[in-house]
Structure 1
Amino acid sequence: MLLLILVTLLWAFSFSLIGVYLAGQVDSYFSVLTRVLLATLVFLPFLNWRTPPRTALTLMAIGAVQLGLMYLFYYQSFLLLSVPEVLLFTIFTPVYIALIYDLLARRFSWWNLLVAATAVIGAAIIRWDNLSGDYWQGFFVVQGANLCFATGQVAYRQFMQSSRARTEPLPPRQTFGWFFIGASIVATIAWVALGTPKYPANVTQWGVLAWLGAVASGVGYFLWNKGATQVSPGTLAAMNNALIPAGLLVNLLIWNRDANLPRLFAGGLLIFVAVALSEWHSKRR
């Protein structure tokens, strides 16, 4: 739980950094490629090249979906929507997590869906106002990112837990590099096929890419996926929406964007209640 909270605080800055310094100024495919390559370099020194092929290929596939494909959708969304709108449309991620988890587990849990729905309501309270003309297109692009992110989280959690049940696995830090290698393959193909020569023009933009790649992606995704294996599916679903009040608060305090503080507080409180209920339910069971 603590890891998810720490990463939420870390990622709260990412939305605004992308929206302010990169969107429309740097080719989105180049931004994705740079970010995942830097994240790969962070974990390459720790990578165990003797990882069992099944483990390596599975982690590469998860990384290709959760990070590679997700970023392709995610960065495109900033060309269609404002930062608050992108944040708003991520509210459906908890529902996808709860439903995908139950689908993989071949069961249906009303409790997981209730916790996820509570978090969605809390996020919707925060900001639901007049949206731009690219609303529908942007909405579906963000949903593509949400589905990829949700699928990757659930798949990683399930795979790591099944690995522990079968045998004593390698430490995650020695295998997580495969996750980023999978994402890098997807990002490289996308950049070669669709990228344009629109590169960072100043030190600030390069610095933002370096931070997003090495820290937000490299350290952030490792800690987030590790935290995902330590909490219940309902808590994981609800924590995905904790990014929304955190991201809006950063956007307000640093970049002086408009935000409705009473709604931010009310929605954030409801998300907190969803997480607390899920933790209580898990401990009770």
Structure 2
Amino acid sequence: MILLLLVTLLWAFSFSLIGVYLAGQVDSYFSVLTRVLLATLVFLPFLNWRTPPRTALTLMAIGAVQLGLMYLFYYQSFLLLSVPEVLLFTIFTPVYIALIYDLMARRFSLRNSLWNLSMAAIAVAGAAIIRWGELSDDYWRGFFVVQGANLCFATGQVAYRQFMQSTHARGESLAPRQTFGWFFIGASAIATLAWIILGKPQYPGSPVQWGVLLWLGAVASGLGYFLWNKGATQVSPATLATMNNALIPAGLMVNLLIWNRDADLSRLLGGGLLIAAAVTLSEWRSKHRPGTT
């Protein structure tokens, strides 16, 4: 879970950086393309070109969904919603993770399904406590755009976790740093196609905007998604689901402290504690009942 916590702190800055420096100022499709290409360049030197075709194609497909499609929805949402609203509407990701995991794992045990959904529900409740105020005019459109991003992110996380566990069970040795480049190549293919079809000539106009894209691409995406997906293979499905909502208080705190945006501190603290309780409970159960991991 340490890896998930570290990436949560890393990604806490991404929401505000996009909302403050890129949204409405730089073409969203160009931002997505730049970000995934930079992430690809980070892992390209480590890529094992002799990776079995099935493995490479599977990782490309996962990357296309989890990162490529997710980013297309995600960046559009900042044109419709404020940073706190985007953060708030990600509260449903844990529910999607719990349901998709049970579907992909073909584990329809009522007990396990109810446990995953219960932990996800606690995380959703904690996130909902944090912020529920004035909503923009584009509320409904923005809401569904964020849900598209949530579904893609949830599907990719579960698919990567299941794929890596299945390869390990078959006795196959996959060094993540040598194969994760395929993940970003898949995302780059989707981002390139979207930019060619839908992109506009609206490029960064200042060193700060280029610097933000460099940070988001090489560090937040390149390093961040590698560590997050690796961490996803080391925790239970319920913990993975609840950790997705830990981004919300972290992102709101960064937005408040650095960019001085309004946030209700009492709700932030209360919701954050509830999410932390869900994560702690998930970890306790996974350690004492291995069969549920």
Give runs of aligned pairs for residues 129-140 of structure 1, distance below 5 A.
Answer: 129-140=133-144
Q: Which segments of 5 or more consecutive residues in structure 1 lack a partner in the other structure?
A: none
Contact map agreement 2:127 2:249 (CA 8 A) in 1: yes
1:104 is matched with 104
Match of 2:197 in 1: 193
Gaps of 5+ in 2: none
Deviation track 1:125-171 (CA, whole Å, cap 9, x = no partner) reads: 00011100000000000000000000000000000000001123221
**Cα RMSD (Å) of the superposition?**
0.5
Distance (whole Å) between structure 1 residues aligned to residue 224 and residue 253 of structure 2: 19
* Matched AA of 2:26: V
- Counting only pairs closer than 5 Å after superposition, residues 154-165 of structure 1 correspond to structure 2 as 154-165=158-169
Aligned residue pairs total 285
Aligned to 1:81: 81
Q: Does 1:45 align with 2:49?
A: no
Give yes or no for contact 2:74–2:146 (8 Å, CA) kept in 1.
yes
Q: Contact between 2:27 and 2:203, CA under 8 Å: does it hold in 1?
A: yes
| Aligned match of 2:8 | 8
Whole-angstrom CA distance in 1 between matches of 2:51 and 2:104: 25
List 4+ stretches of structure 1 deviating above 2 A. Answer: none
Secondary structure, counterpart of 2:10 in structure 1? helix
Normalised by the length of structure 1, the TM-score is 0.99
| 1:143-154 mapped onto 2 (5 Å cutoff) | 143-154=147-158
1:215-247 alpha-carbon deviations (Å, 9 max, x no partner): 000000000000000000000000000000000
Report deviation, 1:284.
1.1
Looking at structure 2, the residues matched to 107 and 4 of structure 1 have their Cα atoms a distance apart, in angstroms, of: 24
TM-score (structure 2 length as normaliser): 0.97
In structure 1, the residue matched to 2:91 is: 91
1:251 counterpart letter in structure 2: N
Aligned residue in 1 for 2:223: 219
Aligned partners of 2:142, 2:155: CA distance in 1, in Å?
Answer: 20
Q: Is the 8 A contact 2:28 2:76 kept in 1?
A: yes
CA contact (8 A) 2:105 2:162 kept: no
- Partner residue of 2:30? 30
- Offset at residue 95 of structure 1 (A): 0.2
1:173 aligns with 2:177: yes
Question: In structure 2, what is the equivalent of residue 235 of structure 1?
Answer: 239
Distance in 2 (CA, whole Å) between partners of 1:189 and 1:2 is 35
Q: Which amino acid aligns with 1:201?
A: G
Once the two structures are TM-superposed, the CA of residue 106 in structure 1 deviates from its matched residue by: 1.6
In 2: Cα distance, 1:184 partner to 1:222 partner: 15
